[in-house]
């Protein structure tokens, strides 16, 4: 029938498979996916400029009116992006250059950098 060696061998395989499954679920749960990149509104004059440098946005909170744009300029040695919490605007990950978004609805738009979650900012859009 079964000897103790074959039972231990099967038990070891089951434990290894279970651990691999738990690891896969744990890794997937820790890596949020970045929403799809939205096109930058090139050629639009921005009402406000925000710098993304040294793992911070300057200024951190800005206010614009409906129909106005914000331009983020990327400087420094590390790559950054802007990712709206609601996914309404998402830039490429970049070291230099800029990204511009026109706000068409009033509200409060929180955003961060997908690889530096301590980088947070807010755009307040008023009527």
Residue 8: the pLDDT is 55
pLDDT at 67: 98
How high does pLDDT run on average in the chain?
Answer: 84
Q: How many helices (H) and strands (E) does the chain have?
A: 1, 8
Per the model's pLDDT, the better-predicted residue between 6 and 63 turns out to be 63
What pTM value is reported for the model? 0.74
pLDDT reading at 99 higher than 70 = yes
Sign of the dihedral through C-alpha 6, 11, 14, 17? negative
46/123 Cα distance (integer angstroms): 13
List for the chain the helix, strand, coil content (%; round to 5). Answer: 20, 35, 45
114-127 average pLDDT score: 97
- Tell me the CA distances in angstroms from 114 to 43, 71, 82, 83, 124, one per residue in order: 25, 18, 7, 7, 20
Q: How far is CA 4 from CA 10, 13, 18, 29, 58, in A?
A: 10, 14, 21, 37, 66
Q: Is the pLDDT of residue 90 over 50?
A: yes
Task: Kindly tell me if the per-residue pLDDT of 88 is higher than 60.
Answer: yes
Q: What mean pLDDT comes out for the span 66-72?
A: 98
> What are the pLDDT digits (tens) for 22-57?
334 333 334 468 999 999 999 999 999 999 998 999
CA 38 to chain centre: 13
Q: How does residue 76 score in pLDDT terms, banded at 50, 70 and 90?
A: confident
pLDDT of residue 28: 37
């Amino acid at each position: 029938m079964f000897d103790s060696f074959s039972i231990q061998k099967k038990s070891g395989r089951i434990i290894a498979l279970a651990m691999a499954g738990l690891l896969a679920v744990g890794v997937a749960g820790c890596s949020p996916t970045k929403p799809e990149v939205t096109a930058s509104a090139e050629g639009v004059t921005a009402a406000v400029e925000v710098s993304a440098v040294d793992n911070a946005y300057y200024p951190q909170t800005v206010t614009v009116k409906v129909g106005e744009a914000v331009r983020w300029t990327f400087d420094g040695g590390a790559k950054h992006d802007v990712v709206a919490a609601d996914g309404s605007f998402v830039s490429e990950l970049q070291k230099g250059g800029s990204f511009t978004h026109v706000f068409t609805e009033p509200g409060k738009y929180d955003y961060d950098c997908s690889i530096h979650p301590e980088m947070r900012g807010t755009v307040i859009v008023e009527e």
